[in-house]
Amino acid sequence: MGLNFYINLSLFRLSSRSILIPKEIYTRLDYGLAMEIIFLGTSCMIPTKERNTSALLLTYNEENILIDCGEGTQRQLRIAGIKPTKITKILISHWHGDHVLGLPGLLQTLGASEYNGKLRIYGPRGSKVYVEKMMNAFVFSNKVEFEVIDIAEKVFFEDEDFLLEAFQLDHSIDCIGFNFIEKDKLKIDTKKAGKLGIPEGPVLGELQKGRAVTFNGKKIQPEEVTYSVKGKKITYIADTVLTENCIDYSKDADMLICESVYDSIHEDKANDYKHLTARQAGLIANKANVKKLVLTHFSQRYKNTQEIEEDARVVFDKIICAEDFMRLKL
């Protein structure tokens, strides 16, 4: 099934100036629960006038998963019209400042806003210590209840709808990437159900859950009235050099969100700082057979992303470059 993109450009007013930014770029698939990616920061290392540092929000059903939290992330959430208290989980790729400096301010806001429930923060080994030191550096009058969980290369969360998986990257400090993998869903074939005379209601609900039912004295198996729809997969690759893990864990992703600090002209610099070039990101997408590549985490040296995009298109064509406040719907 092809992926169709619809672009709607909207004016945002920031301070005393107006910036034209792509507010919504929608990717629509005809199945599954609603899933949306909101880019809150797409700059590498430092914020610019147009781009904040790294952060994105993945929404799925009732889940709102914040991935990385660069400085100013909570302000970006406000501009995007998202209440910080909606966040259900935070995933940290690594502990460089441009990925985490927004965390203390966000936690203080959540505490002052009477955040409901326990917030879980997942990050690479050592995250518990980093958060403890960070909390000791500030005075919090209202502390939010949270748990920090150090994770390695494994599935670290799973429920009936999706799982979250971490994989090791190769950066100057410990760094991990993430997979969001939606589980396959059973859907009701209404024509087949109609032929058997099964009305909408709890009987179809049980069948859709994969359970056999007895209806009008006849035992009906789920496969008689359902079909399976493959779940979607989103891969997030943060700061790294090119490794086999980048390809292996991105395999067949519906969307690969990948850092691309430089174009290939500056490959030596990318290697020195252990980052990817746009062409290397395109190579990952090509070899991993992903459906769509979204580039992010750009060096401030670039006034626009034309060079970055052209560099990646040499090896992979289904590509867009992220902008702050861009929204992708699957």
Q: Looking at the chain, how many residues does it have?
A: 330
> Residues 6 or more apart from 262 whose CB is under 8 A from it?
269, 270, 275, 277, 278, 299
**Phi, psi for residue 73 in degrees, rounded to 5:** -60, -40
- Angle between the 103-112 and 127-136 helix axes, to the nearest 10 degrees? 70
98 is catalytic: yes
Per the CB < 8 A criterion, the answer to whether 10 and 31 are in contact is: no
What the block records as the tokens of 193 is 């159900």
H helix intervals, the chain: 73-79, 97-100, 103-112, 127-136, 190-195, 202-208, 244-250, 267-273, 278-288, 306-313
Of residues 258, 80, 88, 91, the one with CA closest to residue 161: 88
List the one residue out of 91, 179, 106 whose CA is nearest residue 143. Answer: 106
Rounded Cα distance between 87 and 93, Å, is: 17
Instruction: Write the DSSP assignment of 16-58 as a string of letters.
Output: TEEEEEEEEEEEE-SSSS-EEEEEEE-BSSS--SS--BSEEEE
Of 259, 226, 246, residue with least CA distance to 68: 259
The residue annotated as part of the active site, out of 98, 254, 311, 324, is: 98
Residues forming the active site: 98
